[in-house]
Amino acid sequence: MHMSDALLSPAVGGVMWAASAAAVGLSVRKTAGIKDGSVLDEKKIPIMGVMGAFVFAGQMINFTIPGTGSSGHIGGGILLAALLGPAPALIALASVLLIQCLFFADGGLLAYGCNVFNMGVIPCLGAYTLIYKPLIKKGLNKGNITLAAVLAVVVGLLVGAFCVVLETLASGVTELPFSTFTALMLPIHLAIGLVEGIVTAAVLWFVHSARPELLDSTVAEAKLDGAVNTRKVLIVFGVLTLVVAGALSLFASAYPDGLEWSMEKTAGTAELEREGGVYEAAADVVEKTAFMPDYGFRVPEGEEASEAAGTAVAGITGSIITVLLAGGLGFVIHAVRRKKAAA
């Protein structure tokens, strides 16, 4: 559900940049313990990096929605929030989206604020807090985990999809009339959300069976006991990330994702175009920073590159960058909190 710049006016893009920046800034403050404390202790920082990379890799795999000609991919907001807490999860997901935008030209730079809000703020701060956490407090078992994960993912994705419709409406994108676009976006993202919810629940089942303290501590907003060893979880998800990014991503569905499918059904194309200085400036920045646009090798015009090799290298490279950025931010924030505590 990554939005492109062509779906937004500069005014709407700017407002959503400001809204997302405020949400991420508040999340940094909360995670750093400057306000209201945090559940991100030192033992969870590596998990922040590895699970951020897992979500990056997972978003590369589009799964087919039977009978529709569409596909979807995980968003990862509820998964990250369940393991890290809502504030650290938003920081990790914002890192994933920034890497996708700047290095792989996936989602526009003007649209980055919308993408962070729709795919990060809504599930991590909204659906997790209002739906997942109250349900999971009734007991950490397979039934509650499944119900909480599926319901939170579905609601978060539907609200995010509706926000996409509102953002295009506010931007005056007449090619996507409100009622028709809404009628297509919500049902297809309901189907996508059900699949993602089941995947999220399955991952959380594994974590709960391997290290229940990870989920318990997040729900209780408490630090992990010093005796808890998270090495098994880190190794498993590190290996899974490399397998998903380097191998399984090659088998991703070729069907358009839910947003592209809805655009094609409404406007006849998923490639809307906008002209103007803001769009050109944003595109120029991404053109300079994206070393593997569309998750493939850059090649001189007229030459062909191995699509499979490009996808695999892009997946592994992006996952490593995500570990460094999300994990690095976690370490910096933790250092700030320690310094504050010492003072």
From CA 48, how far away is CA 52, in angstroms rounded? Answer: 6
Average pLDDT of 307-316? Answer: 93
Q: What is the pLDDT of residue 34?
A: 52
Please state whether the predicted TM-score (pTM) of the whole model is above 0.85. Answer: yes
| Whether the predicted pLDDT of 185 surpasses 50 | yes
Quote the pLDDT of residue 248. Answer: 93
* pLDDT computed for residue 37 by the predictor: 45
* Per-residue confidence (pLDDT) for residue 38, from 0 to 100: 55
pLDDT digits (tens, 9 = 90+) for 96-139: 999 999 999 999 999 999 999 999 999 999 999 999 999 999 88
In this prediction, residue 18 has a pLDDT band, given cuts at 50, 70 and 90, of very high
Percent pLDDT > 90 in the chain is 83
Say if residue 159's pLDDT is above 50.
yes
* Rounded average pLDDT over 156-169: 98
In this predicted model, what pLDDT tens digit does every residue of 59-102 receive, in sequence order?
Answer: 999 999 999 999 999 999 999 999 999 999 999 999 999 999 99
Q: Which residue has the higher pLDDT, 1 or 47?
A: 47
Supply the pLDDT for residue 96.
98
**Do 82 and 55 contact (CB within 8 A), yes or no?**
no
Would you say residue 279 has pLDDT above 70?
yes
pLDDT for 286-303, tens place per residue? Answer: 999 999 999 999 877 666
Q: Which fold has domain 5-18+39-323?
A: Arp2/3 complex 21 kDa subunit ARPC3 (1.10.1760)
Give the CA angle between residues 154, 209, 220 to the nearest 5°: 65
CB atoms within 10 A of CB 259: 24
What is the enclosing helix (H) or strand (E) of 98? helix 86-104
Whether the pLDDT of residue 228 is over 70: the answer is: yes
Give the distance from CA 308 to its chain's centroid: 23
Q: What confidence category does residue 186 fall into, taking pLDDT thresholds of 50, 70 and 90?
A: very high
Q: Which residues of 109-132 are buried (b: 16+ CB within 10 A; e: fewer)?
A: bbbbbbbbbbbbbbbbbbbbeebb
Contact 118, 163 (CB under 8 A): yes
pLDDT beyond 80 at 36: no
Both tokens assigned to 86: 């809502």
Per the CB < 8 A criterion, the answer to whether 295 and 311 are in contact is yes
